[in-house]
A = this chain, B = another copy of it.
Amino acid sequence: MSKKYVDIETLKYILYDVHKLENLLSRERFQEHDLESLDLFIDSVKEFSDRELHPYFKEMDETPAYYKDGTVLVHKQVQKVMHQSGEMGIIAACFNYEDGGLQIPFTVLQAAMYIMDAANNNLPSYAGLTGGAAELIIEFGNKELNKIYVPNMLSGTWGGTMCLTEPQAGSSLSDIVTKATPTAAGFYKISGQKIFISGGDHQFAENIVHLVLARIEGAPKGTKGISLFIVPKNRPKEDETLEYNDVMTIADFQKMGQRGYCTTHLGFGDSDDCRGWLVGEEHKGLNQMFLMMNGARIAVGRGAAGIAMAAYRASLQYANERPQGRKLSADGKKNPTEKQSLIIEHPDVRRMLLLQKSIVEGSLSLVLLASKYHDILTTATSQEEKEKYNLLLEMIIPIVKTFPSEAGAEAVDNGLQVLGGYGFCTDFSLQQYYRDIRVSALYEGTTGIQSQDLLGRKVTLQNGKALELLSAEILKTIIAASTDQDLKAYGTILEDTLKLSQKVLNHLMPFAIKGNYERYLADANLFMEYMSIVVLGWLWLEMGVDAKHELSNTERKYSEIFYESKIHTMKFYFKYEVPKTNSLAASLMSDEVVTIKKDKEYIL
């Protein structure tokens, strides 16, 4: 298989030059790292992905994970990648040295895992989720729990999961009923069922450590009565041997895409012998879980961005190799005696490629921006800095989860279309990317939920402070652009778009103030789309400013055409995508109310 699934040059450009990783490295936490060592880490992950992930991309789709006799059977590569992710320090990359970690910046880990996502999105999450589960134990568990579970997880020997969803509750976590009954011995008896558990069981994991949301008997109703438990599939005994912990794999979910990444239905305590250990305080489980959720949401956006990147590279390669049709001549006809054109020469194909490029590289910049905010927040040296970057991160989280998922799917759709009929055929990878990426808008809170979060919580945070901070960041780039004759106009457009968003909010806010939250939030999805375009327009303008600057340098890292292509893609985004904010604003400010249920049901 082609190794061109990722544009490493652009990845490094965005990481080092646009988002200036170097600035992060001056922070105390990262003092033992330098650009060179981190670059080696990224290269090693690329080499690992070339060798152990990408070659199995198609095979894992064709031989999906499946349930058999109480366990789930996955592709053998799951074992290899888990173990090597442990050995290479991928799982432990960001943890403290004292917890067995490497204190690598989160931003660098995301850049590295993005390569893995692009190579074969079936595999990285086995390791990623294990890291997330370990992080919860490190953050909230006591030292004993840490000692028992964390080292085996960081080495990739044991897997880890997050168990939130239940059949009757879906995304509504206040309705979960999994029960935890305290015992005199200190542990809890757990009983209940969890569904959609990614990486929930497979034949290669010696053990799987489930982080389970459950309700302690007598706990308050709703989300304030939920606690967090470690519930291992096998419980470690004092002699370090393992004993079955009554965690049953009831079934799996067969999916349209990402078929090599298993999704399971688990039953806890069917024989009344399932033990769980409380992590952190009683009834604080949801808050604790949500501390991890930011990382999980960045990871979903990153995964989608990686898939879209791989799809773009595949369709670009096809467009550069496939001859078909001819250029129109001045009479509007084609001359059949002329040589065929490559399809990349047709404007409509170019439009589909540039749309992909703008979404794919913009998404990558967005993922690394959110990761940078995360790094600054976790290493903040002042309360002011901490507060600022907490708000910026909170603001960007629903967008970094959603934009790569939604627009990424659109990018892949265009990539498939570039191949014509072949795009629909299983001999080509585009249809697999098309199926795989579709889960991203569902994972870890659907687009609907993210949009409610953006408009309902994040925009109103501290009376709009988060949005104000984000706007200030955007304005900095607009000001930088304003000194350049070619870029100035784009800055002005972006500024207008930002102003119009304020007008939209001025229109909506009174509904919230009057307590009509249903109306306030009814078109949250459209607002999400609006703000995503603003943020992407900003990130492209930022890339344009940097590229323009580099072009005026005599010594530059990349070729002239490399920088020019970034400016060109920025122009594409401003011509074809940014104008959509106008129609979105019109819909958002319309007085027509059609999606709120009144007395009659019109949806037949």
Contact = CB atoms under 8 A, between A and B. Distances in A.
B255 A424 contact: yes
Contacts of A600: 561, 564
A420 B334 contact: no
A484 to B, nearest CB: 16
A346 to B, nearest CB: 8
A604 B565 contact: yes
A452 B254 CA distance: 40
A523 B337 CA distance: 26
B350 A424 contact: no
B442 A423 contact: yes
A253 B223 CA distance: 51
Contact of A324 (B172, B512, B579, B604): B172
Given A357-B603, A420-B442, A575 B592 contact: yes
B446 A336 contact: no
**A interface, size bucket:** 35 or more
Contact of A515 (B221, B323, B330, B417): B330
A222 B601 contact: no
Interface stretch (A70-78, A144-152, A282-290, A583-591): A583-591
A82 B446 CA distance: 42
19 contacts: A169-B324, A170-B322, A170-B420, A171-B325, A172-B340, A221-B336, A255-B424, A255-B425, A255-B426, A255-B431, A256-B431, A327-B518, A347-B522, A416-B438, A417-B441, A561-B604, A571-B594, A575-B587, A579-B584
Interface of A: 7, 165, 168-172, 174-175, 195-196, 221-223, 253-257, 316, 322-332, 334, 336-337, 340, 344-351, 353-354, 357, 409, 413, 416-417, 420-421, 423-427, 431, 434-435, 438-439, 441-442, 446-448, 451-452, 456, 512, 515-518, 521-526, 561-562, 564-565, 568-569, 571-572, 574-576, 579-584, 586-587, 590, 592, 594-597, 600-604
